[in-house]
Amino acid sequence: MQTFLILGAGYTGGRVARLLGSAGHPVIATHRTSLSVTDAESVERLAERVPEGVRILHSIPVLKNGHSHEGPTPLLAPVLRKARRIVYLSTTGVYGEHHFVDEWTPAAPRTPRELLRVDEELAVAGLCSNVLILRPAAIYGPRRGVHVSLRNGSHKVWGDGSNYISRIHVDDLSALCVAALEQDLTGAFPVADEHPCTSWEITEFCAALVGVDPPAPSGILPTSDTRSANRRVDGSAVRQALRVSLRYPSYRQGVPAAIAEEESCLSAE
């Protein structure tokens, strides 16, 4: 059977690994606790375990290195060269100042970190001819998102709350990743649900769900923060190409489902 490798089995990658495993596929999953991408011996040991023709989800973000960042992809070359297929999880941050994004929008990175993300995309494409770049908007779900930051008191509404933010539920992103790994669509696509909304809109909605008062606006974000982009993302093209329907087309379905899953996990403990 086809073997899948998940590089970075964290919040999204871990779900992808479980989906593939539950379908009966052989899956090798790495985590920062099991793979040090800066350690050549660790990478070589992984390369020895991975068969030729493996299909890889690469979801390891750029790495913090002191006051700067570095890309892990060149360090992972011995593993990535064995791939028949690579799906790389990037970010909508690479679109920079673009306020409306779809499949035709070019990358326009502004900051060193955004530039590094584009370099990572190019590095992946240089190691395998069968590559799909997915650029997700803000990822939310159980234990992550506005409803969580409101609960713990860390949520802030910047400016007047009128800036738009697109998002994608982690389960929908995971389903797209599985479909992308199993198919051979190439190129680079943004990923988002069907309901971009303002920061204030989702804050009010989530505050009502978790029973807290929405915080007052608290200033202007620095331009380097991706939330300042005021960006609406159309992710329909990749969904249509991969024939994936969203389980949660809007945060209005996704956030209540995330809360219900959290509560179910607590009651099971």
Other Cβ atoms less than 10 A from the Cβ of 144: the count is 14
pTM for the predicted model, two decimal places: 0.95
Band the pLDDT of 229: cuts 50, 70, 90: confident
Closest CA to 88 of 96, 78, 80, 97: 80
* CA angle 228–121–126, rounded 5-degree value: 165
Chain-centre distance for alpha carbon 185: 18
Q: What is the mean pLDDT of the chain?
A: 93
Cα–Cα distance measured from residue 223 to residue 228, given in angstroms and rounded to the nearest whole number = 6
SS3 211: coil
Return the minimum-mean-pLDDT range out of 46-60, 99-113, 122-136, 254-268.
254-268
Burial 11-36 (b: 16+ CB within 10 A, else e): bbbbbbbebbeeeebebbbbeeeebe
Closest CA to 153 of 215, 227, 198: 215
Band the pLDDT of 218: cuts 50, 70, 90: confident
The pLDDT score that the predictor gives to residue 63 is: 82
SS3 163: coil
Band the pLDDT of 226: cuts 50, 70, 90: low
Pairing relationship of beta strands 138-140 and 167-169 according to DSSP bridges: parallel
Between the alpha carbon of residue 124 and those of residues 71, 89, 131, 187, the distances in Å are 11, 11, 7, 12
| CA atoms within 13 Å, Cβ hemisphere of 165 | 22
Over the Cα atoms of the chain, what is R_g? 19
Residue 225 confidence (pLDDT) above 90: no
Please name each of the domains of the chain with its CATH number: 4-268 (3.40.50.720)
Bigger pLDDT: 97 or 193? 193
| CA atoms within 13 Å, Cβ hemisphere of 3 | 11
The pLDDT score that the predictor gives to residue 227 is: 65
